[in-house]
Amino acid sequence: MGTIIRHTFLDSNGIRMHVTDAGRGYPILLCHGFPELWYSWRRQIHALAEVGFRVLCPDLRGYGGTDAPEEIESYVMRELVEDIHGLFDALGIDKAGVVGHDWGGSLAWQFALRHPERTERVASLNTPYLPPGPVAPSLMYRDAFRLTDKTFYMRHFQEPGVAERELEADVRDTFQKIMRPAKYADSLATFMTVGDGTSLLGKIDPGETFLSKIDLDTYVRIYKRTGFRGGLNWYRAMDLSWEEDRSLPSFEIDLPALLVVTDKDPVLRPEMAELSKPYVKNLRIERITDCGHWTQQEKPAEVSNLLIDFFGDLRDPSME
């Protein structure tokens, strides 16, 4: 008999959140990135639950079945962290392992930083931990990649409605063009550089996706209903978050931590992991080869095994 995934809705930090809940044992929270859903962790949910963990996987603010406030200010990191804090309170969870990918990785790091008393261990896929720098992040990353406001996706995302129109014009085409295996890493690089300043998707040729028909249909069905605005608002609030975050009392994370990098992610490049070392005192770095950006979907077994190893001594032995 397979793992049963329970779907629930709860109130947290002023919004209604959709959360999946599977298994029993020590709780592990999985946070998705853009443009994903709880569903991006489908393989890890089963793998972790089957070895003795309780696996919680929400649609984060702005996504899927969770509320998507209109105001960009509602997506600053302080609010996103408190969504998770409230989720733990609503479920009666004192402490958990916290895992994230992409934007979910940033959220995992920030939750561990701001609520170490509620975080047993923290793990991130692809996303390094970085404290606030001297320049707003959308500008810092633009300049680091030697791009412009026209050719850097984070800057292209800033004006409400522009990216939505392109991504929502053909949702199936959007997911088929960006969710691809490592051999098509150039497709994501083209997306990141806005097709040389013209279009996010127009210069990406058709090609294979690692999504099955059921997977693709799931993303398409949900995003046709919700659109992309909620997820894009995370990018629109990132510089506002930076303004707030610079006043935090500390930027060091002193918890057991895991950072998983991949060799073919054109956005969150593996060499960025080195930047985390001065600030994360107990950091373990693992590398997955022949893998692009969508790590837990492209290499599900490898990710599951790393997470089971990292959290292994916390699991319920009666489930083995």
Catalytic residues: 102, 235, 293
Query: Mutual orientation of helices 162-169 and 171-178 as an angle, nearest 10°?
Result: 90
**Nearest CA to 165 among 230, 227, 218?**
227
Query: Mutual orientation of helices 238-245 and 229-236 as an angle, nearest 10°?
Result: 40
Local structure of 124: helix, strand or coil: strand
**Nearest CA to 30 among 247, 310, 313?**
310
Task: Please state, as a whole number, how many other Cβ atoms lie within 10 Å of the Cβ of residue 283.
Answer: 19
Reading the block at residue 298, the tokens are 């492209």
Residue 142 neighbours by CB under 8 Å, 6+ apart: 148, 149, 152, 154, 155
Reading the block at residue 97, the tokens are 């392992």
**Nearest CA to 13 among 106, 98, 76?**
76
d(CA 10, CA 221): 23
